[in-house]
Each structure stands twice: as C-alpha cells, then as structure tokens.
Homo-oligomer: A and B are copies of this chain.
Amino acid sequence: MPSPRRSVLFCLGLTLSLAVSTASAAAASLQEKVRSWRVAQESTLIDEYRAFVALPNVTIDRAGIQRNADFILAMMQRRGIDARLLTVATPNANPVVYGEVNVPGATRTLMLYAHFDGQPVNPAKWAPGWEPFNPKFATAPAEQGGKLIESWKSGDRVDPSWRLTGRGSADDKAGVMALLNAYAGLTAAGAKPSVNLKFLFDGEEEIGSPRLAELITQHRDRLRADLWVILDGPSHPSGRKTVGFGVRGDVNLHLTVFGAKRPLHSGNYGNWAPNPAWALVRLLATMKDDEGRVLIPGFYDDIAPLTPPEQRALAAIPSIEEPLRRELGLARTEKPGRTLFEGFTLPTLNINGIFSADVGPQAANIIPSIARATLDLRLVLGNDVQRQLGKVIAHIKAQGWHVLDRDPTDAERAEFPKLIRLDTKSAGNNAQRTPLEAPLPRAVAAAVQSTVDYPVVLMPTLGGTLPLIVIEQMLGTQLISVPIVNADNNQHAENENVQVQFLWDGIETYAAIMTSL
C-alpha cells in the first residue's frame, strides 16, 4: 500500500524525487514555527476575526461592503502588506481590496484570491441566539445540536472544535483571515515567501463578480500573475485538505407566473379562476424527475468529457456518502452521478425557492394572483450560460407558455392563457477547469500535501462556482482552488459557521503554498 504522501502524487500520475523529501523537511520546520506564532497570537487573532465577521457584508449593502473593505485594508497594513482599494469606472460597483508583497529575487508571482461579501440573510431563520452579524462560539452546528457558549468572553480559551457563527464566518472571510495570517506567520517566523505575492479580496463574488472583466481590463498589470490560487468553498467533508482544479459555472433564473390581477376568494372563484401556483408547480414538475434527472431536452448535451487523470482523481476521492446521508437525514439521494463528486461533473437544475401567498397559520383561503420560483443552474465544462438557459426557456415555451421579460400588459393577459416572466439577476459564469498535470498547479498540490500525512483530496472540479473562467480567458493565467473550511459550514444558509481548527489549519496550508513554489 502506498504511503499517504505518495498516494496523492500517484493520483497526479507523477514520480517522487529526493528533492521533494528535503523540501518537505524544511516545510515541516516552517509549519511548526507558523503554528507556534499562531498559538501565541490566538486571542488577538480571534478578537480581530470576530470584529470582521460582525461587519454586515451582504453584497447589495454597499455601505456595509465599504466598511468591510476598510477593515481589510487596516488588517493588511498592520501586517506590512502594501494595500489599496481597486475600483472600476462603473458606478455603484463594490470595491475590491488589492495588496502586494514583492520578494527580492523572486521570479514568479502568485495571486491569492478570496472574497469578503456574503449571501443575503434572513435572521428569522437562524437558530435562537444565532445571529448573522453577532459572531459567537458554539459547540457544534445548530442542526447537530450545537449550543452557544454564552459565557465565553474575549481572552478566554477557544476550543478548536468549536464553531464561530455568522454570515461570512466560513464563506469567505475565513479566506481573508487565513491568507493574511499565513503571511503574518511567515514574517514572524523570519521566513519569506519564495514568490511575489498578490492579494485580491472580492466584494461582489456572491452576485457572480459582475465587474471582474472590467476590473481586469482596467488593472491588467496589477492582476497579472503566474498562477491564481482561489481560497473559497469547503474542504472535502471528511475534513481532509482539498485541492480543486476547477469550478462549476452558475446562473439564476427567476420565474413569475401570473393569475388573476388580484387574489380571489377561493370559494367565490374556485373551479373558475386559474391558480398561478398550480400552473407553476405543473411547469416545474415537467423539468426534473423523481430521481433527480433533468428532463429538459438536451440538458446533458455538450458536456466536455473528463480526461484520464481527472477520471483517476475522481475515483480516488474518499467516499463520504454514507455518513453524510446519516448526518443530513436522507433515505436516498439523487441519481445523476453515482457519488456526490461524480455529480459535480454534471450540470444541475435546482429550485432555490418557491413562493405564492402564505402557508400554515398565515394562509388565507384565496386563489393567489402570482407565483414565483428562483432556479439555479450549475454548469460544467462544455456548457455555456446562454445555451443552458436557452434550453430551459425553450422547454418552458414548448409547454405552451408565453415568455416575457417584464410584467404582462392587459392585452397580453387577455391573449395568453399561460404567462410567465423570466429574469436573470446576473450574467452568470461558465465553468472552468485546470488540467491536473499542469506544473504550477501541481506544485501547489504538493505544497498542501507537505502539511499533512494523509492523501490530500484532489478534485477535478469543485461543486460550487467562482468566476474563474473570466480570469483564465482574460489574463491567460492558470488557476487552482485550495479551500480550507469545514463542509458542514451552512454556507449560503442560516447558521453559517466555521470550525476553529479549520481556520488554524488554513494558515499553515497557505504558509506552505507561499514558500513552496
């Protein structure tokens, strides 16, 4: 049986050289120094991070985003990083925080990317006492019976198994935290990076980084690097460190179905006035079967096949389906892929939410006037946002719907029995994938591997989305993802949390990356 450290390289189809062993010994020593620094600084780092997570960061809250950007700038300045805000000409774009560390003698440049904006929050959905922007420690995720540690106060010891709660605690302020403290830890240890470093902290990632192309156009020289490393998303659910060679694309589609102009008494109009909620559920039901397969014609066409190294890496990903099914309380799972990770190599069609009138105690005996749903589509290599959306829209039309991009006029209401408004809230992003055999990405994977004695998980693609394709195409730069947070972080949902040990491990992971290329 191969040793853990050889396993990962076996997956990459590489051979192990003696030089790697020597480098690993040096890496282990540096890792120890960075860890000692972190342990000594822990209380300060925790207080700073709590203050960071306490800043509201929903993407559309421009004032909140500005406060976050200013906070990051101050953190960078404290660590001796030359930092500034980058802006674009488009009005109302959120700022991006940029920083540079030039290392004398270094010939290569690494761009380190994370984002500090967060998904919308609905505080009413959070567990009692858990608040989006009032970070606290909990013994475990709320859904696993975690209790808030109400007695904790600044300066008290923090158990690394605890969770720090709050929107952005995991997605993706943890990334900012790990990157800045990896650099601070190296500096404190008297080490220096082996490459020039650039930092880019995005303020619009959660709406698809719509100004990224403009940012690259206007700041091309600053954003140039030999490799971009992306810090976002969760590690493998086993908790093993993970390197991702690609991401899925994503786009949202909002559906609004129109019934009568006003809500109607269900007795006085029942059996006569059409109910838009019935029409919407009938439409949605035609799109996906009970096993999770999308029924829209051509939905699974134009998928780029996996390369042999990708197929091998996919097969080597540790299985986590059974414990995950138990944790999530699922008797069965969908069928498009055989495993969770095989599912990542296929496009999705998902209902984010559906709404018409009220349910439960608030329900009234009415025929609603409107019904809405929001779908998201994840895309894989080979898919194109417009082409994939086009398949869904063509399917909707084929079911007899008249499609609008605005509310209907009276004339349209009178003419068309099935009226639907379709909106996309952002342009979306196509998927991106970096070849597993590319040299610099491979070196990053080896650096991550040098920090642990089990095989790092290599994923041909992560399940989530980042606008990496724009970077790849505009800058001609390769990209790789090295996520650091726990998989049960409730990213994008209520009760978001990060397990503290993952924050600490992330610092060491990135210290290794900064010194190993």
Q: Give the docked Cα–Cα distance between A325 and B353 (Å).
A: 30
Q: Give the docked Cα–Cα distance between A320 and B321 (Å).
A: 59
| Beta-carbon contact of B378 and A374 below 8 Å | no
| Beta-carbon contact of B361 and A494 below 8 Å | no
Q: How far is the CB of A301 from chain B (nearest CB, A)?
A: 16
| Beta-carbon contact of B359 and A354 below 8 Å | yes
* A438 sits at the interface (CB 8 A): no
Given A353-B363, A376-B365, answer yes or no on A281-B271 (Cβ-Cβ < 8 Å): no
Of the stretches A66-74, A101-109, A261-269, the one at the interface is A261-269
Report the interface size for chain A: residues with CB under 8 A from the other chain: 107
Given A340-B272, A413-B331, answer yes or no on A355-B352 (Cβ-Cβ < 8 Å): no
| Beta-carbon contact of B143 and A250 below 8 Å | no
Indicate with 1 or 0, residue by residue over A350-393, a CB within 8 angstroms of chain B CB atoms: 11111111111111111110011110101000000000000000
* A463 sits at the interface (CB 8 A): yes
Contact residue among B269, B288, B292, B357 (Cβ-Cβ distance under 8 Å from A352)? B357
| Beta-carbon contact of B281 and A330 below 8 Å | no
Within 8 A of B (CB), among A311-361: 321, 325-334, 336-337, 339-340, 343-344, 346, 348, 350-361
List chain B residues, Cβ under 8 A from A248: 267
Chain B residue nearest in CB terms to A342: B271
Of the stretches A75-83, A84-92, A193-201, A484-492, the one at the interface is A484-492
Q: How far is the CB of A16 from chain B (nearest CB, A)?
A: 31
* A64 sits at the interface (CB 8 A): no
Chain B residue nearest in CB terms to A339: B272
List chain B residues, Cβ under 8 A from A292: 271-272, 274, 278
Indicate with 1 or 0, residue by residue over A439-480, a CB within 8 angstroms of chain B CB atoms: 000000000000000000000001111000000000000000
| Beta-carbon contact of A351 and B360 below 8 Å | no
> Quick one: which of A141, A425, A464 has the most chain B CB within 10 A?
A464
* A282 sits at the interface (CB 8 A): yes
* A252 sits at the interface (CB 8 A): yes
* A234 sits at the interface (CB 8 A): yes
Chain B residue nearest in CB terms to A268: B463
* A275 sits at the interface (CB 8 A): yes
Contact residue among B351, B354, B366, B425 (Cβ-Cβ distance under 8 Å from A492)? B366
* A150 sits at the interface (CB 8 A): no
| Beta-carbon contact of B282 and A344 below 8 Å | no
* A414 sits at the interface (CB 8 A): yes
Q: How far is the CB of A135 from chain B (nearest CB, A)?
A: 19
Chain B residue nearest in CB terms to A141: B262
Q: How far is the CB of A15 from chain B (nearest CB, A)?
A: 33
* A290 sits at the interface (CB 8 A): yes
| Beta-carbon contact of A491 and B350 below 8 Å | no
| Beta-carbon contact of A464 and B265 below 8 Å | yes
| Beta-carbon contact of B120 and A365 below 8 Å | no
* A189 sits at the interface (CB 8 A): no
* A152 sits at the interface (CB 8 A): no
Q: How far is the CB of A498 from chain B (nearest CB, A)?
A: 14
Q: Give the docked Cα–Cα distance between A288 and B278 (Å).
A: 8
List chain B residues, Cβ under 8 A from A278: 284, 288, 292, 351
Given A333-B273, A355-B355, A465-B267, answer yes or no on A262-B490 (Cβ-Cβ < 8 Å): yes
Q: Give the docked Cα–Cα distance between A143 and B410 (Å).
A: 12
| Beta-carbon contact of B350 and A262 below 8 Å | no
Contact residue among B261, B358, B367, B464 (Cβ-Cβ distance under 8 Å from A122)? B358
* A277 sits at the interface (CB 8 A): yes
| Beta-carbon contact of B122 and A362 below 8 Å | yes
List chain B residues, Cβ under 8 A from A284: 278, 281, 285
List chain B residues, Cβ under 8 A from A270: 343-344, 348, 350, 378, 463
Contact residue among B344, B366, B372 (Cβ-Cβ distance under 8 Å from A359)? B372
| Beta-carbon contact of A260 and B328 below 8 Å | yes
Within 8 A of B (CB), among A126-183: 141, 143
Task: Supply 30 A–B pairs (Cβ within 8 Å), ascending by A.
Answer: A120-B358, A233-B268, A261-B327, A262-B493, A265-B463, A265-B491, A267-B463, A268-B462, A268-B491, A269-B463, A270-B348, A271-B336, A271-B337, A272-B334, A272-B339, A273-B330, A274-B333, A277-B373, A278-B292, A281-B351, A329-B414, A330-B413, A331-B413, A350-B365, A350-B367, A353-B363, A353-B368, A359-B372, A360-B372, A365-B492
Q: What 3 A-B pairs are tightest by C-beta distance, nearest first?
A: A271-B343, A267-B464, A285-B285
